[in-house]
């Protein structure tokens, strides 16, 4: 198969994935982000990269958003929200972070394939994304290796949440660009 045919199949998979995401779950997450004092994001591996890109866009919108584990990340406190992107919902480091956030009294959002996971059980908000876990044991068919479909859907879902924020706050790209890095 040609590379462009693989690309077309990936796009088809993403279209099927988008149609399986709950609007109600997405709206609940968007509202919780806007109501939170500070927003923290976490994810392992490629999901962590998606989380970082989401934090960056939230910062462009004027939301106090941070990545767990970065040196400039402030203290997580009651009234804050942590969004954990984890396909399995069982990544040990992320489970530990969720437990600590629960002990502190902040809100936890899980964006996951597996809402019945450990992180899902700790979460106040769950957004279920389709995809197959790394071991390919899921029920969502994909030609892609490991968790690629989940990770791609996660990035696009986060970008869709940003568009929803823009709509709710009356922002456009020009207004957001004013918060873009300018020391480079």
- Kindly name the residue from 25, 151, 167, 184 that is annotated as catalytic: 151
Using the CB atoms, write b or e for 103-132: b if 16+ within 10 Å: eeebbbbbbbbbbebbbbebbebbbbbbbb
Task: Quote the CA–CA distance of 53 and 69 in Å, as a whole number.
Answer: 15
Inter-residue contact 43 to 51 (CB < 8 Å): yes
Output helix, strand, coil percentages for the chain, rounded to the nearest 5: 50, 10, 40
CA distance 54 to 91: 20
The yes-or-no answer on residue 9 being catalytic is no
| DSSP for 115-130, written as a single string | TTSHHHHH-SEEEE--
CB 91 within 8 A of CB 147: no
Q: Which residues are catalytic?
A: 151
């Amino acid at each position: 198969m040609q590379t462009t045919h693989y690309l077309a199949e990936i796009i088809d998979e993403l279209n099927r994935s988008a149609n399986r995401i709950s609007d109600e779950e997405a709206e609940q997450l968007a509202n919780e982000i806007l109501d939170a004092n500070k927003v923290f994001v976490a994810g392992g591996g490629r999901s962590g990269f998606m989380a970082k890109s989401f934090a960056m866009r939230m910062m462009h919108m004027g939301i106090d958003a941070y990545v767990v584990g970065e040196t400039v990340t402030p203290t997580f406190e009651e009234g804050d929200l942590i969004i954990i992107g984890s396909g399995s919902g069982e990544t040990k480091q992320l489970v530990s972070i969720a437990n600590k956030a629960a002990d502190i009294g902040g809100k936890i959002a899980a964006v996951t394939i597996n809402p019945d996971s450990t992180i899902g059980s700790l979460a106040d908000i769950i957004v279920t994304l389709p995809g197959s876990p790394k071991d390919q044991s899921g029920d969502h068919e994909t030609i892609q290796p490991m968790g690629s479909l989940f990770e791609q859907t996660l990035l696009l879902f986060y970008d869709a949440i940003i568009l929803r924020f823009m709509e709710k706050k009356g922002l456009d790209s020009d207004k957001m660009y004013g918060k873009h890095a300018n020391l480079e």
